Amino acid sequence: MSATAESVQERRAALKGLGTSRKRVEDARFTQGKGNYVDDIKLPDMLFGDFVRSQHAHARVKSIDTSAAMELPGVIAVLTAKDLEPLNLHWMPTLAGDKQMVLADGKVLFQGQEIAFVIAEDRYIAADAVDLVKVEFEELPVLVDPFKAELPDAPILREDIADEKEGAHGARRHPNHIFTWEQGDKAATETVIGEADVVAEEMVYYHRTHPCPMETCGSVASMDKVNGKLTLWGTFQAPHVVRTVASLLSGIAEHNIRVVSPDIGGGFGNKVGVYPGYVCSIVASIVTGKPVKWVEDRMENLSATAFARDYWMQGKIAATKEGKITGLWCHTTADHGAFDACADPTKYPAGFMNICTGSYDIPTAYLAVDGIYTNKAPGGVAYRCSFRVTEAAYFIERMIEVLAIKLNMDAAELRAKNFIRKDQFPYQSALGWEYDSGDYHTAWDKALESVGYSKLREEQSQRVEDFKAGKTRKLMGIGLCHFTEIVGAGPVKNCDILGMGMFDSCEIRIHPTGSALARLGTISQGQGHATTFAQILATEIGISADDITIEEGDTDTAPYGLGTYGSRSTPVAGAATAMAGRKIRAKAQMIAAYLLEVHDNDIEWEVDRFVVKGAPEKFKTMKEIAYASYNQAIPGVEPGLEAVSYYDPPNMTYPFGAYVCVMDVDVDTGVSDIRQFYALDDCGTRINPMIIEGQVHGGLTEALAIALGQEIAYDELGNVKTGTLMDFFIPTSWETPNYQTDFTETPSPHHPIGAKGVGESPNVGGVPAFSNAINDAFRAFGLTHTHMPHDHWRIWKTANELGLHAES
Amino acid sequence: MVLEEEVQIPLDRNTVFQALNDPEVLKQSIPGCEELKQITDTELEATVVIKFGPVKASFNSNVEVDPSQGPELFKLTGKGDAGVAGFVSGGADVHLDENDAGTLLRYVVNIDISGKLAQVGGRLIESTSKRIAKKFFANFEEVLLKRQT
């Protein structure tokens, strides 16, 4: 008996399925520099496009003179809005139901906006020609402050829709106003706040930043005029959506468009949107009959493609004297820039901001979000998070800290007092979500114990005494965070983008010799899909992950899917993979029963084979079944072993985590030093612990960047002040601390394998942990809240304003 | 951005003021000035090449001078267009005070900068602008003193 058990274990290990820290199969090519990115695509006779962009944030375009550019040898054409207008491509729809200029149509609304597209024989000639295009501007007043958008003297930005009282998301009260989105019970919440023992109020600003993937956005369009087929390679997080949108916009039938996402060098939400460069490269290829490549540079990426965040969140949180939260109120002013190009499900113009009750059992809540136009780049994408979930988590985790100060209570204790209890799941939140599962108290206790929380607080108190006594100039901050995410959009009944339901898909072919090919509707940008999806499938169908090829990103071969963002790949496509695997197994069971000459019900699945119940020596392995499925006539069963699943999840998944950050802050230099960072993540079933750890490290580092310095800052003229990596903070190994990772495992009850998604958790939870640590360092000196990013200068300024630099 | 600075020139106020209105003197004094044409009594057109760190920009500039409050005050406003590199607009008030050592020039310059210059050169613009202003007056003094001899 023990021998059999051992061999079962050995066979299970050989599959390298769920729970295995399998090395990433992608890395063989990446570590050898053999990745194939958009800019690696080189086609015969390929031309290059480059944009003339606006230097002004708001101006009328009075004239565009392309004659000098056209005279430069090697320049093929210069496209302007006038050239695109007959094709009706001078404007394009955004993912948020607004429209956006492809090339400036009479005016420009943000610095870096696309004005003309130069097509030349090489990219150097194109860049030289860009300098030769003369644009005459008439400057207009610039609006950069969303709170000034509706003042009487505010310039009207969107003259094209100035008179429209209804937008894509309901009534508009002003030409610069996009939408108001309300959730929860306003009257009840205001009553609770009016009658509460304690109310804490704060304005919490989550500043504008940018996903800044290592590879910038780009595309190569190739129109084959002989067979009428358009092929478009690009940095697309959602290639199938791009195909559908390209078909709708261009009028080219969808079967004549092939969209390919090759290797992608990081997306983080930046590559979800549709950009003028894609449209212009397509038009240029149609016009010239040659392939046209467009790849933006770093400044173009930072200043013109989709930004993230920029939410001003005014909050009120009510509680009893004992610290039981009774109500939460939030009004958000959302700066969307010049066009509403947020990548959110259609019914959620502020994404899932209504997850802002966080991990807490808050009986009454109200949220309103006002979207505002300003003279800034469009975007508002989910930068390594599900739609607006980082904003929501930052808001509630700051409000909890502010409330703890008001109650004069320990912030860890306040959290524990208000967590949704394990027995309350599935939990219906006041703002409309059904949390699928969770065990917050267990995770929280484990986190606090692991870091030695009470000792840390004692040390902190001693530090304050020492500081006051002049023995040290460094304060100590303890940043706590317990976040709950909502990922895996989503049920088609409430989640779609441009009307396209947010299901996902997997198609599996088992080859006669027992290896397999699986194709999915998602696309990896570094997440390691080729590694992890093979592991899901290995456990489901008993074929080693090493014998399964995963393919994504080519719309001619992959099944239709909505792509990879918002941690939806594992919750949705991962579920489709498991479900398709189960279809394979169901057919395999019929074949095995036939081969073993028993009834279907008399055999059972065991790791990689079907075994006759009670007769373990009688079995058929999946490999044997695969061969038989193709090569043996089985009555009533079609040849072959293939399956497809299109999975529409019944609910979203709710990963959570408990993070603690311990920091020393130098009051005189503003330098923060991260002493310890502990991250406990609960992402349900863990597919590949090594990849999870890598995801957590990466997400925490991006969180560190955002919390401690990374921003897209504008001056009052609408100039992007952080348009290069000299000013836009990307942490290096110098700034990045060691991370200590940990986990609990609370499987999702509705997901086929119980997995919840993890790639974005560390960004969602990391930002509040870093920020809370900075704020906490100054709590003893009267600070309630200070805005991110907490760069050295701002920390110094905070210390200065608190009088900590005064001569003693 | 506002720049305030003062410079002492060992010449009398009228001479200095006249020189500020002399296109030939200006052309020789403005660092990187490749061309300067007088359009009317008060309007000038100039081509000026300036390097802001990694960005070299050639500005096509229109400048309007206002000598009406002279010789105590010389004013100018202008715009410079460097195409995709950026756009500069602003003005300057130059106060001329006579003293024992000649003339003390106190200037207040207001500049707004847009475009790539503001992005790439953001951290360099103030120091570059100060350097250009200093260089201008150094050249200016040199040209005038040369004329005197």
Q: Which of B119, B120, B125 to mutate to test the interface with A (most CBs of A within 10 A)?
A: B119
In A321-433 the beta strands, taken as DSSP E runs, fall at: 325-337, 364-373, 379-381, 427-428
pLDDT greater at residue A585 or residue B115: A585
Is the separation of the CB atoms in A484 and A438 below 8 Å?
A: yes
* CA-CA-CA-CA torsion sign (A745, A750, A751, A756): negative
Cβ separation of A719 and B114 shorter than 8 Å? yes
pLDDT band, very low/low/confident/very high, at A215 (cuts 50, 70, 90)? very high
If DSSP codes are grouped into helix, strand and coil, which group holds residue A752? coil
Q: Which of B56, B58, B84 to mutate to test the interface with A (most CBs of A within 10 A)?
A: B84
Q: Which residues of A form the catalytic set?
A: 237, 384-385, 760
Cis peptide bond N-terminal to A141, omega within 30? no
Question: CA–CA separation, A527 vs A575, rounded Å?
Answer: 16
Question: CA–CA separation, A769 vs A764, rounded Å?
Answer: 9
Is the separation of the CB atoms in A218 and A228 below 8 Å?
A: no
B23-36 pLDDT per residue, tens: 999 999 999 999 99
Whether chain A has a CB inside 8 Å of the CB on B118: the answer is yes
Q: Hey, how many other C-beta atoms are within 10 angstroms of the C-beta on A768?
A: 31
Instruction: Give a three-class secondary structure readout of chain B.
Output: CEEEEEEEECCCHHHHHHHHCCHHHHHHHCCCEEEEEECCCCEEEEEEEEEECCEEEEEEEEEEEECCCCCCEEEEEEEEECHHHCEEEEEEEEEEEEECCEEEEEEEEEEEEECHHHHHCHHHHHHHHHHHHHHHHHHHHHHHHHHHC
List, in order of start, the domains of chain B with CATH numbers: 2-148 (3.30.530.20)
As a whole number, mean pLDDT of residues B81-109 equals: 90
Q: Which of A486, A311, A307, A306 is nearest to A398 (CA)?
A: A311
**Min Cα–Cα distance to chain A from B16, Å:** 35
A502-552 pLDDT per residue, tens: 999 999 999 999 999 999 999 999 999 999 999 999 999 999 999 999 999
Find all residues with CB under 8 Å of A234, minimum gap 6, and list them.
A38, A217, A218, A219, A220, A242, A259, A260, A261, A278
Query: Of A53, A57, A715, which is closest to B84 when you measure between CB atoms?
Result: A53
Q: Which of A54, A139, A719 to mutate to test the interface with B (most CBs of B within 10 A)?
A: A719
Phi and psi at residue A446, to the nearest 5°: -65, -40
Whether chain B has a CB inside 8 Å of the CB on A211: the answer is no
A3 has pLDDT over 80: no
* CA-CA-CA-CA torsion sign (B20, B23, B29, B31): positive
**Residues A32-70 as b or e (16 or more Cβ within 10 Å = b):** eeebebbbebeeeebbbbbbbbbbbbbbebeebebeebe
Which positions in chain A touch B87 (Cβ < 8 Å)?
55-56, 137
Average of per-residue pLDDT values in chain B: 88
**Min Cα–Cα distance to chain A from B121, Å:** 9
Q: Which of A53, A54, A55 to mutate to test the interface with B (most CBs of B within 10 A)?
A: A55
**Min Cα–Cα distance to chain B from A276, Å:** 18
Which positions in chain A touch B123 (Cβ < 8 Å)?
726-727
Q: Structure tokens of B14?
A: 């009228």
Cβ separation of A56 and B87 shorter than 8 Å? yes
Q: How many residues does chain B have?
A: 149
pLDDT band, very low/low/confident/very high, at B130 (cuts 50, 70, 90)? confident
Which positions in chain B touch A376 (Cβ < 8 Å)?
none
A721-736 pLDDT per residue, tens: 998 998 999 999 999 9
Is the separation of the CB atoms in A464 and A481 below 8 Å?
A: no
Average of per-residue pLDDT values in chain A: 96
Cβ separation of A303 and B119 shorter than 8 Å? yes
Find how far residue A118's CA is from the centre of its chain. Answer: 32
- pLDDT for B2 equals 87
A343 has pLDDT over 90: no
As a whole number, mean pLDDT of residues A28-45 equals: 96
Predicted complex ipTM: 0.77
A130-175 pLDDT per residue, tens: 999 999 999 999 999 999 999 999 999 999 999 999 999 999 999 9
Q: Which of A270, A261, A230 is nearest to A246 (CA)?
A: A230
Cβ separation of B112 and A131 shorter than 8 Å? no
Find how far residue A428's CA is from the centre of its chain. Answer: 24
A807 has pLDDT over 70: no
Question: CA–CA separation, A210 vs A270, rounded Å?
Answer: 8
- pLDDT for A349 equals 95
If DSSP codes are grouped into helix, strand and coil, which group holds residue A545? helix
As a whole number, mean pLDDT of residues A88-92 equals: 95
Whether chain A has a CB inside 8 Å of the CB on B13: the answer is no
Could you tell me where the DSSP H helices lie in A251-352? 276-288, 298-304
Whether chain A has a CB inside 8 Å of the CB on B123: the answer is yes
A776-791 pLDDT per residue, tens: 999 999 999 999 999 9
Whether chain B has a CB inside 8 Å of the CB on A134: the answer is yes
Is the separation of the CB atoms in A56 and A719 below 8 Å?
A: no
B112 has pLDDT over 90: no
As a whole number, mean pLDDT of residues A231-250 equals: 94
Which positions in chain B touch A724 (Cβ < 8 Å)?
119-120
Question: CA–CA separation, A113 vs A275, rounded Å?
Answer: 11
List, in order of start, the domains of chain A with CATH numbers: 12-36+504-647 (3.30.365.10), 42-140+215-265+271-304 (3.90.1170.50), 307-488+652-801 (3.30.365.10)
Whether chain B has a CB inside 8 Å of the CB on A508: the answer is no
- pLDDT for A519 equals 98
Find all residues with CB under 8 Å of B18, minimum gap 6, and list them.
none
Which positions in chain A touch B58 (Cβ < 8 Å)?
none
Question: CA–CA separation, A789 vs A208, rounded Å?
Answer: 10
Which positions in chain B touch A303 (Cβ < 8 Å)?
119
A452 has pLDDT over 60: yes
- pLDDT for A1 equals 45
Cβ separation of B119 and A720 shorter than 8 Å? yes
Question: CA–CA separation, A285 vs A45, rounded Å?
Answer: 11
- pLDDT for A4 equals 57
pLDDT band, very low/low/confident/very high, at A417 (cuts 50, 70, 90)? very high
Question: CA–CA separation, A647 vs A562, rounded Å?
Answer: 11
Find how far residue A387's CA is from the centre of its chain. Answer: 7
pLDDT band, very low/low/confident/very high, at B121 (cuts 50, 70, 90)? low
pLDDT band, very low/low/confident/very high, at B123 (cuts 50, 70, 90)? confident
Cβ separation of B118 and A721 shorter than 8 Å? yes
Which positions in chain A touch B113 (Cβ < 8 Å)?
717, 719
Whether chain A has a CB inside 8 Å of the CB on B56: the answer is no
- pLDDT for B3 equals 87
Cis peptide bond N-terminal to A363, omega within 30? no
- pLDDT for B125 equals 80
As a whole number, mean pLDDT of residues A325-343 equals: 97
Cβ-Cβ pairs closer than 8 A, A with B, add up to 53
A461 has pLDDT over 60: yes
Cβ separation of A717 and B123 shorter than 8 Å? no
pLDDT band, very low/low/confident/very high, at B118 (cuts 50, 70, 90)? confident
Cβ separation of B87 and A721 shorter than 8 Å? no
Whether chain B has a CB inside 8 Å of the CB on A546: the answer is no
**Min Cα–Cα distance to chain A from B108, Å:** 20
Q: Structure tokens of A559?
A: 């099944």
**Min Cα–Cα distance to chain B from A478, Å:** 34
A605 has pLDDT over 90: yes
